[in-house]
Amino acid sequence: MPAATLDAFLNSYLGPPDELRSAVVATVRQLTQAATKVRNTINQGVLGTAFAGTRGANADGDVQKDLDIFADDIFLDAMRQAPVAFYASEELEQPVLLDGQAPLAIAIDPLDGSSNIDTNVSIGTIFSLLPATGAPDGNPAASFLQAGVNQLGAGFFIYGPQLALVLSLGSGTHVFVLSTRLGTFVQAYESRIIPQRTQEFAINAANYRHWDEAVRLYIDDCLEGTEGPREKDFNMRWIASLVADCYRILMRGGVFLYPGDQRKGYRQGRLRLVYEANPIAYLIEQAAGAATDTITRILEIEPESLHQRVPMVFGSAREVARITRYHTEPSAIGERAPLFSRRGLFRA
């Protein structure tokens, strides 16, 4: 039996006539067209007109690449053709009003992993679909200051060896791959389930000296391997591309940590709650995983501003819960109670 196409999946999601569902389907279809255009430009690499050149900084202080702006323009134009009231992006200081009568708001990171553009590492686009709230002529940011549990759907495109779409509309997390032969997205994986246990973690270990004690203790215990309190060996991964790390976890399990730390500007984490952490958390939870800010469930955090940052831990549910215990009640972790002095990651 041939795999289902994205169109077939979206048609099955529609069901009886429903304004919100119809809007979600129309928007996802526009997103896929825009992502295909972005992928075509990425595939040209340095031979293309929009690649890894630097423009300056965005509203939140991060370096902008030419491809960041190009991708944002492509997705913004696509959303003008969709039933979207408000468009919010990492590259824009304020949301854009598109159609005050439309039922949806979209928050998007047009090009996640920009630092990897010129290294040929997978990068992507992350999006969150929300119900538009408030008066059309009111505060355009209001629709984005609602907790992630209110998302109608979320997903990301990953521009890697294949152009893939990871998508959830509230009933599992599904993976679609663009078939160049068929000219459409085809379902590659249905309802991914992340194993509850894992022996693989992803973190930027270069920041070890800046971490809080709970994070250092957790990583130390993992690195002790079979001789330590975890009594098993762990693999460590770090791609520095959120979509790539998330895709790997969806495929084979694992846990991802991007904690806040002691560096200036990092205390509250670095990932954006509205258009990075919330959609990733939605996808992970729909795949039977978990996502927290080390303690609190990501999807229950109410944003205070559009570009708010947050620490993030996500992946295999039991491992995420264990990391929370390291922060809240480390003495309750049986194999390492009471707490005792350990060697650090880079200390003899």
Quote the pLDDT of residue 54. 60
The pLDDT of residue 58 is above 70? no
CA 209 distance to own-chain centroid: 26
Mean pLDDT of 113-124: 87
Q: How far apart are CA 78 and CA 195, in angstroms?
A: 36
Inside any domain, residue 346: no
Q: How far apart are CA 88 and CA 95, in angstroms?
A: 4
126 with 72, same domain: the answer is: yes
276 with 227, same domain: the answer is: yes
Q: How far apart are CA 95 and CA 62, in angstroms?
A: 18
Quote the pLDDT of residue 347. 39
Mean pLDDT of 23-41: 97
The pLDDT of residue 301 is above 50? yes
Q: Which residue has the higher pLDDT, 119 or 245?
A: 245
- Diameter of the chain measured on Cα atoms: 65
Inside any domain, residue 347: no
Q: How confident is the model at residue 16 (pLDDT cuts 50, 70, 90)?
A: confident
Mean pLDDT of 147-176: 97
Quote the pLDDT of residue 52. 56
Task: Please name the helix (run of DSSP H) or strand (run of DSSP E) that holds residue 326, with its range, or none.
Answer: helix 317-328
Q: Which residue has the higher pLDDT, 3 or 224?
A: 224
C-alpha distance from residue 338 to each of 45, 82, 138, 219, 229 (Å)? 54, 57, 54, 17, 12
Q: How far apart are CA 320 and CA 323, in angstroms?
A: 5
Q: How confident is the model at residue 346 (pLDDT cuts 50, 70, 90)?
A: very low
CA angle 221/222/223 to nearest 5° reads 90
Calculate Rg over the CA atoms of the chain: 20
Q: How far apart are CA 31 and CA 37, in angstroms?
A: 10
User: Would you give the DSSP letter of residue 158?
Assistant: E
120 with 259, same domain: the answer is: no
The pLDDT of residue 9 is above 90? yes
204 with 229, same domain: the answer is: yes
Where a domain ends, among 189, 208, 241?
189
Mean pLDDT of all residues in the chain? 91
Q: How far apart are CA 320 and CA 64, in angstroms?
A: 32
Query: Tokens 């998508």 correspond to what residue?
Result: 167
Looking at the chain, the whole-number percentage of residues with pLDDT higher than 90 is 80
319 with 262, same domain: the answer is: yes
CA angle 244/245/247 to nearest 5° reads 65
Domain coverage including residue 255: 200-336
Q: How confident is the model at residue 51 (pLDDT cuts 50, 70, 90)?
A: low
Cα–Cα nearest to 6, from 129, 188, 181: 188
- Got the DSSP string for 261-286? -SSTTTTT-SEEIIIIIHHHHHHHHH
Where a domain ends, among 161, 189, 217?
189
Mean pLDDT of 204-223: 96
Q: How far apart are CA 246 and CA 283, in angstroms?
A: 9
Inside any domain, residue 83: yes
Q: How far apart are CA 308 and CA 120, in angstroms?
A: 29
Q: Tell me the β-bridge partners of 266.
A: none
Quote the pLDDT of residue 44. 84
14 with 97, same domain: the answer is: yes
Report how many domains make up the chain: 2
Whether pTM exceeds 0.95: no
The pLDDT of residue 138 is above 90? no
- Got the DSSP string for 281-306? HHHHHHTT-EEESSSSBGGGPPPSST
3-state secondary structure (DSSP) of residue 225: helix
Inside any domain, residue 195: no
Whether 293 and 312 have beta carbons less than 8 Å apart is answered as yes
154 with 241, same domain: the answer is: no
The pLDDT of residue 73 is above 60? yes
Q: How far apart are CA 85 and CA 13, in angstroms?
A: 22
C-alpha distance from residue 311 to each of 7, 31, 39, 144, 303 (Å)? 35, 28, 29, 19, 13
Q: How many CB atoms lie within 10 A of CB 339?
A: 11
Looking at the chain, the whole-number percentage of residues with pLDDT higher than 70 is 90
182 with 291, same domain: the answer is: no
Whether 87 and 95 have beta carbons less than 8 Å apart is answered as yes
Query: Tokens 């990651």 correspond to what residue?
Result: 345
State the alpha helices, DSSP H only, in 47-187: 66-79
Where a domain ends, among 167, 189, 211?
189
